[in-house]
């Protein structure tokens, strides 16, 4: 996979609209976690034409400011830009050729040219998430320190790494793999010291028997981002994200990578070098007794689907902390009511009795208070925040 989404990147290249490679424009594509993707062109895309007006006049047609897809090549790699909107276009004179243009880009797929962004051309996705390695508690990296009078300087230490096998589980047509990759021990000879290091990183790879689109795989990645955020009780950003092309797409001459790096602006900006959440401070990790990866993942898919609205509201309080306390309280109460609906609990009293009681109460109150009472009575459910 390519660089972290937490870091800035910039590429120089040429860009064109699908089917028009001979009308390419030179420019720079930049990415930053805060601003997302920006395409700055020397020139620009313009489909405006002069049309006959009244009499001998001419009028200019409307210009396109939005493009679903823009193709390009950066660093000898093909790139597809999705959901593009021109934020600034400059011409030397009114109606003249565009001299400079800046375009906001929703997503960039580095390594492939796609004509249809909704095409189901990817068989999987691989992601790295903040705090995933700590959540994936497997003590295969062991630090050993020995003390003794017979040991020079009274201490000897070592680091041993025993790589572990991936954990896998099947959820419907998805196969989820939780794996680790390792950096072999290495050392740097510096003028003032000798530095040695190694590390382990957990990642998730999700594959499907049926190909899916870009947006479908991005949504699947969000499922696991939500899981780790909930488990670690802290906002966990996406650090890396890459799509796995189907064999058909991989054999396409316009695709140059076995993994397609996805760049996009996320609601949470990551920092892979910042201190992480320790397992003891998390709500649960795979190191907690009774928490089994093969049982947890399918259950999380079920819970998130059944209580989608509740999960979105509760997790929003974690992803975007702070703000007004009243707004947070309203969100929490609304989440509780949203959770109540899918439970399908029996009503407090039979519906017929509730309707009769509600009708009787509305008949005895003054007419100008009936709407107020109707809103206060709400519905015949165990939980209501309407009052």
Check whether 158 has a pLDDT greater than 60: yes
pLDDT surpasses 70 at 387: no
- Find out whether 118 and 271 touch, Cβ atoms under 8 Å: no
Mean of pLDDT values over 44-56? 66
3-class SS at 63? coil
Distance, in Å, from the CA atom of 162 to the CA atom of 35, rounded to the nearest integer, reads 40
- 3 state SS of 38: strand
pLDDT at 2: 44
Confidence of residue 149 (pLDDT cuts 50, 70, 90): confident
Q: Which residue has the higher pLDDT, 154 or 30?
A: 30
Q: Model's pTM, two decimal places?
A: 0.80
What phi and psi values does residue 346 have, to the nearest 5 degrees?
A: -65, 145
Give per-residue pLDDT as tens, 248-258.
888 876 666 78
pLDDT at 382: 54
Residue 139 pLDDT > 90: no
E strand or H helix at 327:
helix 325-343
Name the β-bridge partners of 175.
170, 207
pLDDT at 138 over 50: yes
Measured at the CA of 86, the angle between CA 82 and CA 91, to 5 degrees, comes to: 140
pLDDT at 94 exceeding the cut of 80: no
Per-residue model confidence (pLDDT) at position 230: 95
Q: How confident is the model at residue 38 (pLDDT cuts 50, 70, 90)?
A: very high
């Amino acid at each position: 996979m390519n660089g972290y989404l937490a870091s800035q990147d910039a590429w120089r290249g040429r860009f064109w609209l699908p089917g028009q490679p001979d009308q390419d424009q030179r420019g720079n594509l930049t990415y930053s976690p805060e601003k997302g993707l920006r395409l700055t062109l020397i020139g620009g895309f313009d489909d405006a034409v002069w049309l006959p007006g009244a009499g001998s006049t001419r009028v200019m047609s409307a210009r396109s400011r939005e493009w679903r897809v823009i193709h390009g090549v950066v660093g000898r790699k093909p790139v597809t830009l999705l959901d593009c909107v021109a934020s600034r276009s400059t011409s030397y004179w009114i109606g003249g050729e565009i001299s400079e243009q800046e375009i906001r880009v929703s997503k960039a797929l580095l390594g492939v040219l796609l004509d249809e962004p909704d095409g189901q051309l990817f068989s999987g996705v691989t992601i790295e998430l903040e705090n995933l390695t700590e959540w994936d508690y497997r003590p295969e990296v062991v630090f050993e320190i020995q003390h003794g009078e017979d040991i020079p300087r009274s201490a000897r230490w070592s680091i041993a790494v025993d790589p572990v096998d991936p954990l896998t589980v099947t959820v419907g047509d998805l196969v989820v793999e939780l794996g680790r990759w390792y950096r072999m021990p290495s050392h740097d000879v510096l003028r003032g010291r000798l530095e040695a290091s190694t590390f382990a990183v957990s990642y998730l790879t999700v594959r499907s028997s049926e190909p899916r689109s870009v947006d479908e795989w991005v949504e699947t990645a969000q499922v696991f981002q939500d899981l780790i955020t909930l488990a670690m009780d802290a906002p966990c950003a996406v650090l890396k994200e890459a799509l796995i092309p189907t064999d058909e797409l991989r054999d396409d001459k316009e695709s140059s990578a076995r993994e397609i790096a996805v760049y996009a602006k996320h609601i949470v900006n990551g920092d892979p070098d910042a201190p992480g959440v320790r397992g003891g401070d998390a709500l649960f990790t795979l190191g907690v007794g009774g928490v089994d990866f093969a049982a947890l993942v399918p259950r999380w898919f079920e819970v998130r689907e059944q209580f989608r609205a509740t999960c979105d509201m509760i997790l929003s309080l974690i992803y975007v902390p702070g703000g007004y306390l009243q707004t947070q309280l309203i969100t929490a109460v609304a989440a509780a009511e949203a959770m109540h609906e899918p439970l399908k609990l029996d009503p407090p009293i039979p519906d017929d009795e509730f309707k009769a009681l509600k009708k009787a109460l509305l008949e005895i109150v003054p007419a100008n208070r009936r709407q107020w009472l109707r809103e206060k009575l709400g519905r015949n459910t165990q939980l209501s925040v309407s009052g």
